[in-house]
Amino acid sequence: MNNLVDQFMDYLKVERGLAHNTVSAYGTDLVRLTGFLQKKQISPLDVSQDHIVEYLTSLRERLSHRSVARNISSTKQFFRFLVSEGYMKVSPARLLETPRLARHLPEFLSLEQVDLLLRQPDASTPAGKRDRAMLELLYATGLRVSELVGLRAVDLNLESGFVRTVGKGAKERLVPMGEKARVAVKEYLQEGRMRLLKDRTSPHLFLNFRGGSLTRQGFWKIIKKYAKAAGVKKTITPHSLRHSFASHLLEAGADLRSVQVMLGHSDISTTQIYTHVSRERLRALHESCHPRP
């Protein structure tokens, strides 16, 4: 079983080019499947449809609806891979249907809340310059937090005002950063980054106090600190600024396809959720302001 799983994981990484986090999620799901089959003393090549039903029933007793849906997808793709490689003739999971999940509207900030948040870092310190540059760049580009902390200094073109990033599926894209973000990043590079580096060298753009790359968890703590200082009551994550970036662009008249390209979505249906956000805000505005709501 472990050998088959390893082959499948290599297929996901090498042939399909999936991101590390996605491959890791598949691995977690298949550890559950492996444990179930070992407990039942069933070879993966002898799995029947009844075994799959029993396995998923056991998952529904202890996992959320969303987690079960992901496990169904992982199981289907694993056995489909075994069929394609000639290990099995028919997939025992071929008749499984992945349940449709309700899509939750993303949490975003108002323009006033974004402005308050971006004014919190103390730009007189190296760390403050870094934090302001990160917040400005995140809101200006809509990068994922993993993309933001993974940036290298060479990924910036401050002259033309673009940043190069590599997103999910190892797909590269160029995103405009805007003048305010460009100025904040330039100031950080000139006056903050070298003081954080001290006598060290690093290819990474955003650094911690030891001169190493700032982590996603580190940036999450930073943004929570500034949200509290700004008096923003709602729960803010690094993704909140990405959501705000997309929502504010669409509200200002940007076309959906352009926003899709900047966000790095492979499917425009993923971007369309932000049109629901805009409609919800319009409805709330109408109800609060119209004399006959």
Q: Catalytic site residues? A: 144, 168, 239, 242, 265, 274
Largest CA distance in the chain: 69
CA distance 31 to 16: 20
Q: How many CA atoms lie within 13 A of 273 on its CB side?
A: 14
Beta carbons of 40 and 51 less than 8 angstroms apart = yes
Using the Cα atoms of residue 272, residue 266, residue 176 and residue 150 in order, give the sign of their dihedral. Answer: positive
Provide the CA 282 distance to its chain's centre, in angstroms: 27
Q: How many CA atoms lie within 13 A of 227 on its CB side?
A: 18
Beta carbons of 244 and 109 less than 8 angstroms apart = yes
Using the Cα atoms of residue 277, residue 278, residue 284 and residue 288 in order, give the sign of their dihedral. Answer: positive
